[in-house]
Amino acid sequence: MNLVDRFGRPLRSLRISVTDRCNLRCQYCMPEPEYVWLPREDVLSFEEISTLADAFIDEGVDRIRITGGEPLLRRNLPILIESLAAKKRIADLALTTNGLLLKTHAAALKSAGLHRVTVSLDTLHRDRFRALTGSSDHDAVLAGIDAAAAAGFTPLKLDTVVIRGVNDDELIPLIDFARRVDAEVRFIEYMDVGGATRWSPAAVVPRAEMLETIGRHFGGVIPLGGQGSAPAERFLLPDGRTFGIIASTTHPFCSDCDRARLTADGIWLLCLYASAGTDLRRPLRAGATLEEIRQLIHTVWSLRADRGAEERLGLDRQTTLIPVRALKKDAHLEMHTRGG
């Protein structure tokens, strides 16, 4: 019988963070002046990641997404991609990147067997990009998007975190931009995850408001339905274009969540909002067999009852999820360590 958790949710997708380092300092993710990093010796080798992936695959995973931090900062990433792409039961192998280094790596990632790329793009304005991310290299992201398309990663996905007063006037320009680069844009509601220390309820632009703005401009939107366990709801515009909305804050999708998250140092999280996870690095380095790790994964998933975003929805959220002093004590609480 297929493995399911206490709410009947299967284990299907695995997000692997390959580094906690990032070359941007996005205000919604890493706004603090300083961070505590994972000890380098704890970061899993590609061989260790591949072994853990095998154990997850044995328990039902058939989709893997590589993330970070910024995954393209991890040296020789195509080597890992090649070993994951060779696993026969993986139906979907994707990467989420901020795009800064994509121009350099797109072709090698494609040759290594990566199926899909998602680029985070929050603004089309250079000055806003600088204010939002601390980097003046907006052109590099745009060049990365072009390079990904040229390497054959089409259609691309673009992820935009929508923040009131920051980029909520760019919904229409981003849909237009996505069409020009053969991409589909997905608007993400700003979430109060660990690390989002500047979050406030007022900064969230709810799905309903985004749909109203987009529908008014284009003359209506049609929900496409059938999203399954995918977080984005997709919509069709009268001119045939599509876009997505990930309403993680106002309409959480915990009941369909089939995701496991592995941090760069091998901590396995059952939920983006979890306060702790299961250490898989220790048993692996202590010589546990693949079968023992598979059994551990089986037991932990079968006891899973997390529904973090739904629980947050029920709270009176006037403050951020995790205070800065707690983040300083445990980097695993940070979104950039969990991989988003």
Query: Interface with ligand SAM by CB under 6 A: which residues?
Result: 22, 28-29, 67-68, 70, 96-98, 120, 159, 161, 188, 190-191, 193, 196, 335-336, 339-340
Residue among 84 and 188 whose Cβ is closer to ligand SAM: 188
Residue nearer to ligand SAM on the CB measure, 7 or 37: 37
Nearer to ligand SAM, 297 or 309 (CB): 309
* Shortest CB 288 distance to ligand SAM, Å: 29
Distance of CA 313 to the CA centre of its chain: 20
Q: Which is nearer to ligand SAM, 60 or 194 (CB)?
A: 194
CA–CA separation, 121 vs 161, rounded Å?
Answer: 8
Nearer to ligand SAM, 300 or 333 (CB): 333
Name the residue nearer to ligand SAM (CB basis): 49 or 297. 49
Query: Taking CB positions, which residue lies at the least distance from ligand SAM?
Result: 340
CB 281 within 8 A of CB 265: yes
Q: How far is the CB of 220 from ligand SAM (least distance, A)?
A: 27
* CA distances in angstroms from 327 to 156, 271, 322, listed in the order given: 33, 17, 7
Q: Estimate to the nearest angstrom the gap between the alpha carbon of 86 and the chain centroid.
A: 23
Our CB check for ligand SAM shows the closer of 50 and 263 to be: 263
In the complex, what is the shortest distance from the CB of residue 120 to ligand SAM, in angstroms, rounded to a whole number?
4
Q: Are 249 and 310 in contact (CB under 8 A)?
A: no
Least distance to ligand SAM, CB of residue 122, Å: 7
Dmax over CA atoms of the chain, in Å, equals 60
Q: Rounded to a whole number, what is the distance in angstroms from the first to the last CA of the chain?
A: 30
HEC states along the chain?
A: CCCECCCCCECCEEEEECCCCCCCCCCCCCCCCCCCCCCHHHCCCHHHHHHHHHHHHHCCCCEEEEECCCHHHCCCHHHHHHHHHCCCCCCEEEEEECCCCHHHHHHHHHHHCCCEEEEECCCCCHHHHHHHHCCCCHHHHHHHHHHHHHCCCCCEEEEEEEECCCCCCCHHHHHHHHHHCCEEEEEEECCCCCCCCCCCHHHECCHHHHHHHHHHHHCCCEECCCCCCCCCEEEECCCCCEEEEECCCCCCCHHHCCEEEECCCCEEECCCCCCCCEECHHHHHCCCCHHHHHHHHHHHHHCCCCCHHHHHHCCCCCCCCCCHHHHHHCHHHCHHHHCC
Kindly tell me which of 11 and 101 has the beta carbon lying closer to ligand SAM.
Answer: 101
Smallest distance from ligand SAM to CB 17, Å: 8
Query: Minimum distance between the CB of residue 274 and ligand SAM, rounded to whole angstroms?
Result: 16
**Shortest Å distance, C-beta 54 to ligand SAM:** 24
CB of 30 to ligand SAM, least distance (A): 8
Nearer to ligand SAM, 86 or 131 (CB): 131
